[in-house]
Amino acid sequence: MKPTNLVFSLLLAALGASAATTLTVDLAQSGKPISPDLFGIFFEDLNYAADGGLYAELVQNRSFEYQATEQLNWTPLTAWEFVARDGGRGAVKIADAVPVHPNNPHYVVVETQQPGAGVGLANAGFDGIVVQAGGQYDFSLFARQLFTGNHWGGNGVLENPARFVVRLETKERAVLGETTFDVSGRDWQRVVATITATNSDSAARLVVLSLTKGGVALDEISLFPHPTFHNRANGLRADLAQAIADLQPKFMRFPGGCLVHGHGLGNMYRWKDSIGPVEQRRGQENLWGYHQSLGLGYFEFFQFCEDIGAKPLPVVAAGVCCQNADDQGGTGQRGLSLDAMPAYIQDVLDLIEWANGPTNSIWGAKRAAAGHPESFHLQYLGIGNEDNITPVFEERFKMINDAVKAKHPEITVIGTVGPLPSGEDYEAGWKFANAQHVDMVDEHYYEKPEWFLKNLKRYDTYDRTKSKVYLGEYAAHDANRANTLRSALAEAAYLTALERNGDIVRLASYAPLLAKQGHTQWRPDMIYFDNQNLTLTANYFVQQMFAQNQGDVYLPTTLTTAATNLAVSCVRDSKTGDVILKLVNIGAEAQSLRVDFSGAKKLAPQATKTMLTGDLMAVNTFGKHASVVPQTSSMMVGESFVYEVPAHSLTVIRLTPLQEQ
Ligand code: AHR
């Protein structure tokens, strides 16, 4: 037996294993109200989760803003290639004299001396562009004509108009679809066109070719597949967004994670940079080592939340950058100067006004101008992420929290208690949060499966009169950081404990959510994807089974055997009256369980059973048939029934009220 398996087995022995166990739930009791928002999701742009991932933009480095500060070999022309076809002569160069917008300073100039069959540039997308025959692609760019100039033999007169062809091509230059457009005049203009593909390719390129002598500046060269999720403009990749929607998360946290506080004061995520026309957004270095275009910004996050029925949970920095910050001499956590704090606090207050304020308020009007006059009903706001609890942090957090609570007592503020489940920052963070009467605090832990099983009672003894808990980041990290069924079942057992403590643990989100093949910087994650496919892990299905079967009342349960390998919880959804039983068997043997529902006469005799089981070390490997997938069927139930809980399994039994005749 491997040491980790041995530890797991010893833990099971400590929990005990019994032959005949009775589970009693008194359905006549009113039960304990628990958070209706318990199971949500955590989104952070790491592992290429946003650009190249959930954000459906197919062109990489569309606005020529990649920099060597992001990756040493990067330039504004990274992902682009100069192209001259059949007698074409010319060049491309980067300029910044007259940008589309100062927040997006670089653009490309295509200088065509001799058009031939076209002079311009090609973009390889994020690991190629997937093109489907019959598919439509929304192409757009900004363009302006330049003087033809003297250095390539022009006469200083504008060729009017400048004609371009834009194509989707295979690497071998086979045309998959194309369209043409004209550019005339020296002012920036937005060009939009639709390309319909006649053939498919999994690694196509977008080629933009000038067919006219002269100089033309281009920027924000963009291509979106059609449709995006919910057919939104500047939208999200439909299959990935749907997989997230299928979780039925009750809330969505964004934009992180460490991305929020950034690796230096200049790298903090500033929400105002992420709204408005995309060409006006100030993209910046992503602390995970690449570029964030902010094309998927606050408006798109809030809109996505609305589309999937999740409450938005934005997190802003607590006026300090990440303690692991490695720029400016690697001095770790630093705070904004106290002079800078009033403006920073105003940004936070403006966020609340932008989300919820009336359309005649300054920021509510900007939301309305973006196409959403209705409130986004912001309820939760995170301040800080895993920050070390230092005087610098405490001073700034208090300033922000006080200002938010003074102006918006209706907002639930979520503070932070450091990166670990215990220790110095955890202790200091809790002490500070309680002293400040912070509504809720964000706990984080990435631990072994055994840790989760050992800590099932963690919240049973938390003081109910103090700050509530948001378990903002957690995951069971198994050997090799693999998404084993073992890790997922440890999480499932833990989630039953969260339901039991749903009066104090108000929110919980597994982390991270997304990881792109070839760009995965952190494991394990919930969903793995490439440009065409995605793999749902065992951990995903556990999250889904809990979130789809969330209740708002916890019904205490009794097991006749004091020790068992079962973790159990029972909740009621007061909207439907459904009673939902969750059973986790972490043992290697099936467990015969008699379920006694006293007062169950009003329940329908047929219930829905969803069950996830498999080999303890099974993993749904990317690109292979998924072996760990839940199965749904119906089963007969009654006031008392026996259920054989399979070894290594999670079962959700959903019982519905008997319909009156
Ligand atoms: O989830 C990945 C990272 O883990 C987050 O960015 C950070 O908050 C935590 O350390």
CA–centroid distance, residue 472 to ligand 1 (Å): 10
Is the shortest distance between the CB of 384 and ligand 1 below 6 Å?
no
Burial class (CB in 10 A: 0-12, 13-18, 19+), 290: buried
Which H or E element spans position 579? Answer: strand 578-585
CA–centroid distance, residue 259 to ligand 1 (Å): 8
pLDDT of res. 150: 46
Q: Which residues of the chain have pLDDT under 50?
A: 1-18, 150-154, 328, 563
| Contact (CB, 8 A) for 56 and 236 | yes
Work out which ligand 1 atom sits closest to the CA atom of 522: 2
Residue 444 is which amino acid?
H
Q: Sign of torsion, CA 355 361 367 368?
A: positive
CA-nearest residue, atom 5 of ligand 1: 257
Q: At what angle do helices 362-369 and 341-356 cross, to 10 degrees?
A: 50
Is the shortest distance between the CB of 285 and ligand 1 below 6 Å?
no
CA–centroid distance, residue 385 to ligand 1 (Å): 9
CA-nearest residue, atom 8 of ligand 1: 257
| Contact (CB, 8 A) for 585 and 566 | yes
Instruction: Give the whole-angstrom CA distance, residue 644 versus residue 592.
Output: 4
Is the shortest distance between the CB of 293 and ligand 1 below 6 Å?
no
Catalytic residue among 279, 300, 386, 491: 386
CA–centroid distance, residue 549 to ligand 1 (Å): 27
Helices assigned H by DSSP within 47-99: none
Q: Is 386 a catalytic residue?
A: yes
Is the shortest distance between the CB of 443 and ligand 1 below 6 Å?
no
Residue 639's CB: how many other CB atoms inside 10 A?
Answer: 13
DSSP labels, 443-463 = EEEEE-HHHHHHTTTGGGGS-
pLDDT of res. 327: 55
Q: At what angle do helices 538-547 and 485-500 cross, to 10 degrees?
A: 20
Of the candidates 571, 476, 566, the one whose C-alpha atom is nearest the C-alpha of residue 526 is 476
Give the residue carrying structure tokens 């530890």: 7
What is the token pair recorded at 462? 């938390």
Of the candidates 245, 246, 243, 248, the one whose C-alpha atom is nearest the C-alpha of residue 550 is 248
Q: Sign of torsion, CA 245 250 254 256?
A: negative
CA-nearest residue, atom 4 of ligand 1: 257
Cα 233 to the center of its chain, rounded Å: 19
3-state secondary structure 539-570: HHHHHHHHHCCCCCEECCEEECCCCCCEEEEE
CA–centroid distance, residue 257 to ligand 1 (Å): 5
CA–centroid distance, residue 481 to ligand 1 (Å): 15
| φ, ψ dihedrals at 194, nearest 5° | -115, 135
* Chain length of the chain: 661
Instruction: Give the whole-angstrom CA distance, residue 545 versus residue 510.
Output: 13
CA-nearest residue, atom 9 of ligand 1: 257
Residue 564's CB: how many other CB atoms inside 10 A?
Answer: 20
DSSP labels, 47-108 = TTSTBTTTB---STTTTS---TTTSTT--TTTTEEEEEETT-EEEEEEE-SS-SBTTB--EE
Parallel/antiparallel/unpaired status of strands 534-536 and 553-554: unpaired
pLDDT of res. 12: 43
Is the shortest distance between the CB of 256 and ligand 1 below 6 Å?
yes
pLDDT of res. 581: 98
Work out which ligand 1 atom sits closest to the CA atom of 472: 8
Work out which ligand 1 atom sits closest to the CA atom of 386: 8
Testing ligand 1's pocket by substitution, the residue of 316, 473, 522 carrying the most ligand atoms inside 8 A of its CB is 473
Residue 437's CB: how many other CB atoms inside 10 A?
Answer: 11
CB hemisphere CA count around 264 (13 angstroms): 12
Which H or E element spans position 89? Answer: strand 89-95
What is the Rg, in whole angstroms, of the alpha carbon atoms belonging to the chain?
Answer: 28
Residue 660 is which amino acid?
E
Is the shortest distance between the CB of 387 and ligand 1 below 6 Å?
no
Helices assigned H by DSSP within 482-522: 485-500
pLDDT tens digits along 382-439: 999 999 999 999 999 999 999 999 999 999 999 999 999 999 999 999 999 999 999 9
pLDDT of res. 398: 98
Is the shortest distance between the CB of 90 and ligand 1 below 6 Å?
no
Is the shortest distance between the CB of 152 and ligand 1 below 6 Å?
no
pLDDT tens digits along 175-224: 999 999 999 999 999 999 999 999 999 999 999 999 999 999 999 999 99
Cα Dmax for the chain: 94
Q: 12-22 b/e with 16+ CB inside 10 Å = b? A: beebebbeebe
| Contact (CB, 8 A) for 162 and 98 | no
Is the shortest distance between the CB of 260 and ligand 1 below 6 Å?
no
pLDDT of res. 564: 67
CA-nearest residue, atom 3 of ligand 1: 257
pLDDT of res. 156: 54
Testing ligand 1's pocket by substitution, the residue of 46, 48, 386, 414 carrying the most ligand atoms inside 8 A of its CB is 386
Instruction: Give the whole-angstrom CA distance, residue 143 versus residue 184.
Output: 9
Instruction: Give the whole-angstrom CA distance, residue 438 versus residue 501.
Output: 19
Parallel/antiparallel/unpaired status of strands 39-42 and 251-254: parallel
Is the preceding peptide bond at 53 cis, omega within 30 degrees of 0? no
